[in-house]
Amino acid sequence: MCELPRGGCWLSRVVVGMVAVGLAACGGAALTGPLVPQPPSLEARCKLGAAQSSVLITEWSGAEKANFEAMLGGGAVAVAFSGCELRLVPACRLRGGYTWQRTTPATDYVEIRNHADLYAKLPLGAAALDAELKRSGALTVSTTVAGQRRLGGMTAAEALADPTCGEATHVVDAVTLGAYALHGGGDATGSVGVDVRGVGQTGGAVGQSLRVVRSAGQPETCAASRDDGPDHGCASPIRVFLTPIPGRGEPVGPPGTVRVDFVSASATTRWDVYVEDQATCTAPCSVWVDPTRPLAMRVRDQPGQRVQVRRIPTDLGPVQVTARPQAMGKFATGITFTALGGMGVVAGVTLTAVGCSTDRDGMCTAGIITAIPSALVTAGAIWLIRRSLPKVHVGPVFSDVPMGVRF
């Protein structure tokens, strides 16, 4: 039985109902989880490697390497490079030739820890090595180079005048020759120093044994290379150095800029991207952005739905900005319970002030019982309103790179 005054009992029941509904609404909002960036497309992944000036070709098949080596003797080699694919353009025959330059044998290691590393450091084999990276946890490409063949007698701009070179985007400026091995495994927290002469012979701290995934050549023969050419056991093409044909290939942004991919978390919402209050593009789109300039996104035809992108990381390569529009259901619920909770707080404070000042214990108690839950409901409703506002997630293109900024 209620011992409070009739008005206090009625109001307390209303407040209890408000609290229950408010908690249910807040609980439902929590189930929606944080804003999750959209998974990068294959095109976005390949752009990590498309801006490179040199690329490992160790993942080429034996037939492709043989064809490439044959073309090196017939003038400058033109290729079509898109990031994940490096395709020879045999119809494009240019003047010039490649001269062998012997160098002191040197061994290098390329460590691959995640998908960003894979598509940036080994783009030509990224798709095929995806499963191997997941299975091994880490990959290491160890290369021993004996020298290189360097192009002379032509420039990449000359390809523009040749109608047979319309598909070409780059000219091979040089190619290094040597031996290599791709290893799977290793300690993901330490440095992996692998001796390419065999598995288990290491030059650094390794937490687990490595296994050879594939290899070519014999690194111990690289020291036997001569001025007139490499030793037969150390002549596998390792890395090509590319010179872009002007106006073709992946564009490179101005110094100090970062390429940002803008996407929408909702398929039905169109976001316009603004750089210094100037409309630049409509998501999904990619823009080279100066991190020091003001950057914002706004829902088209809804000026009120605008979010400011406050920080763009500059040390993680391409960045993805995912925008989510305002959640109108949460917003309406938050407004409703803010109003009801505010009314309860006012009523509770009034009852408490009047009851306690006139020694009416029932009214004083009813006011306290009304004010405290109403304040909690109001706070929860305000939190729900904040959760409903438009948001952006800023982070690297690849989710397995441990970095993310939410605003």
Q: What is the DSSP string of 191-256?
A: ---B-TT-TT-BSS--SS--EEEEEES-GGGGGG-BTTB--GGG-EEEEEEEEEPTT-SS--PPTT
What backbone phi and psi angles, to 5 degrees, belong to 19?
-60, -45
Residues 6+ apart with CB under 8 A from 254: 288, 290
Distance CA 121, CA 21 (A): 53
DSSP state of 39: P
Residue 116 tokens, joined: 């960003």
Residue 185 tokens, joined: 């495994």
- Token pair 């002469």 is found at 197
Closest by CA position to 179, among listed 110, 241, 238: 238
Closest by CA position to 405, among listed 287, 291, 256, 254: 291
Looking at residue 398, its pLDDT comes to 59
Looking at residue 100, its pLDDT comes to 95
Looking at residue 193, its pLDDT comes to 41
Indicate the SS3 state at residue 315. Answer: coil
Q: What separation in angstroms does the CA of 71 have from each of 97, 140, 351, 406? A: 10, 29, 93, 50
Distance CA 397, CA 284 (A): 14
Looking at residue 196, its pLDDT comes to 38
DSSP state of 84: S
0.85 exceeded by pTM: no
Residue 229 tokens, joined: 């050419």
Angular region, 200: left φ>0, alpha ψ -120 to 50, beta rest: left
Tens-digit pLDDT string for the chain (407 aa): 444 444 444 444 444 454 444 444 444 433 344 444 555 566 667 776 776 788 999 988 888 999 999 999 889 999 999 888 899 999 998 999 999 999 999 999 988 888 778 888 888 888 888 888 888 889 999 999 999 999 999 888 888 888 899 999 999 999 999 999 999 986 433 444 444 333 333 344 334 457 788 899 999 999 999 999 999 999 999 999 999 888 776 666 677 787 788 888 777 788 888 888 888 888 888 788 888 888 888 888 777 788 888 777 766 666 788 888 777 677 788 788 888 888 888 887 887 888 787 877 788 888 788 878 888 888 888 887 777 777 778 876 655 544 444 33
The one-letter amino acid at 22: G
Looking at residue 77, its pLDDT comes to 94
Looking at residue 90, its pLDDT comes to 92
Distance CA 383, CA 105 (A): 63
Select 253-326+390-406's CATH number: 2.60.120, 1.10.10, 1.10.15, 2.60.40: 2.60.40
Looking at residue 233, its pLDDT comes to 93
Q: What separation in angstroms does the CA of 297 have from each of 302, 316, 319? A: 11, 22, 15
Strands 319-324 and 258-264: parallel
- Token pair 């993310």 is found at 404
Q: Nearest-5° angle of CA 329, CA 333, CA 337?
A: 175
Looking at residue 116, its pLDDT comes to 77
Distance CA 322, CA 201 (A): 45
Distance CA 96, CA 290 (A): 39
Residue 110 tokens, joined: 């390329």
